[in-house]
Amino acid sequence: MFGGKLKYYLLMHMVIFIWGFTGVLGKLLDQETVTVHTIVFYRMLIGSAAMGLVILFTRKKITMSAKTILQTSGTGVLIAAHWITFFLSIYYSNVSFGLIFFSTTALFTSFLEPWLMKKKFDPKELFMGAIVVGGIAIIGYDAMQQEQPENSPNLNYTLAIICALISAFLAALFSVINANFVKTNDSVQITFFELTAGCLAVGAFYFFMGEFDNNELLVSSNALLMLLVLGIVCTAFAFFMGNWLMNFITPFTMNLSVNMEPIYAIVIALIIFKESEVMTPIFYIGAGIIIAAVFLNAYFKDVRKKLNRLKETNSG
């Protein structure tokens, strides 16, 4: 039906929309009194089982080496920590607040890529980072001036900012690592081992911390349905598709488009949660600064790549 790369762009935005819906599901599960670590445990367990079934029914052979499996397992632990801090940021605030700070992922990627991939650092990215810090400061100051509603005992904007920024950093870190893995390994296998390792890590950590018991693992039928959607659609499917699409779409296009995630999420949250997601005008000014800086950073990055290619062509 669609020619060229259009179908891949449409699939990419469908995946980004699904990622945006993840935060909404997290807030709905919070209303069902499901703890954050229980959400992440079930999310990774269901996602891992779904990818395991794909491997089983397609009769795929495990082609990854033991070393690569160990490396992807380590990445899975990072992903688990990323999701825990992500849901905590929403737990301590709301979907809009948490997702705006999570949008700094692309900027963190710009700093991590040169360091991990041994590429030249662009000073413009430091400038963009300063602008983002300014946007964060505006939102943070505005949040501190707000009175805490009596019906929101868990509201803590400071903790929400810290958790969201840690989550964004971890997302940037595992994205850079996965960009290397997907070049030489099967996306299904990568996703399976990462989700399995993350699930085991979350289960083991919270079990030994004494925070996992039968009461926490028993959830209502409504919560179970949401966890299945979270695990199968928002995790296994979206995670696999995100890795697979990197074979057809440039990292610049992917990073730029992912910045739409908080926008999609905020719109969905406003429709579902209504007044609880409405923020002050100052919040939206700060959010606009952050999103604009992230988009500009991606644009400058693309211009730099084109100039480098032009220099290589002329020198050749």
pLDDT in tens, 99-109: 777 777 777 87
Least confident of 55-59, 122-126, 218-222, 237-241: 122-126
Read out DSSP for 222-267?
Answer: HHHHHHHIIIIIIIIIHHHHHHHHTTTS-HHHHHHHHTTHHHHHHH
Instruction: List, for residues 278-307, the tens digit of each pLDDT value.
Output: 677 887 787 788 778 777 776 776 677 677
Question: Which residue segment(s) compose the domain that 273 sits in?
Answer: 6-315
**pLDDT attached to residue 197:** 95
Q: What is the pLDDT of residues 260-284, one digit of tens each?
A: 777 788 788 888 887 666 677 887 7
pLDDT > 70: what percent of the chain? 81
Domain membership of residue 117 (yes or no) is yes
Separation CA 14–CA 16 (nearest Å): 5
Q: Is residue 205 part of a domain?
A: yes
d(CA 55, CA 112): 32
- Say how far apart CA 174 and CA 186 lie, in whole Å: 16
Averaged pLDDT of the chain: 80
When divided into structural domains, the chain yields a total of 1
Q: What is the mean pLDDT of the segment spanning 177-197?
A: 85
Lowest-pLDDT range, 24-28, 88-92, 220-224, 268-272?
268-272
Nearest to 166 by CA among 229, 237, 246, 92: 92
Nearest to 301 by CA among 259, 263, 260, 251: 251
- The mean pLDDT value for 120-149 works out to 70
Mean pLDDT across 237-255? 74
> Max alpha carbon distance in the chain (Å)?
67
Does a structural domain hold residue 21? yes
Span 193-222, average pLDDT = 83
Q: Is residue 99 part of a domain?
A: yes
Please state, for a pLDDT cut of 90, what percent of the chain lies above it: 17
Residue 170 neighbours by CB under 8 Å, 6+ apart: 78, 79, 81, 82, 85
User: Exposed, middle or buried: residue 295 (CB in 10 Å: 0-12, 13-18, 19+)?
Assistant: middle
pLDDT at 255: 62
What per-residue confidence (pLDDT) applies to 201? 93
The model carries a pTM of 0.78
Is pLDDT above 50 for 2? no
Give ∠ CA 304-310-315 in degrees, rounded to 5: 125
Residue 1 lies in a domain: no
Q: Which among 52-56, 76-80, 275-279 has the top mean pLDDT?
A: 76-80
* Residue 265 pLDDT: 80
Domain assignment present for 25: yes
Q: What is the per-residue pLDDT for 314?
A: 67
* pLDDT at 249 (0 to 100): 76
Amino acid at 59: R
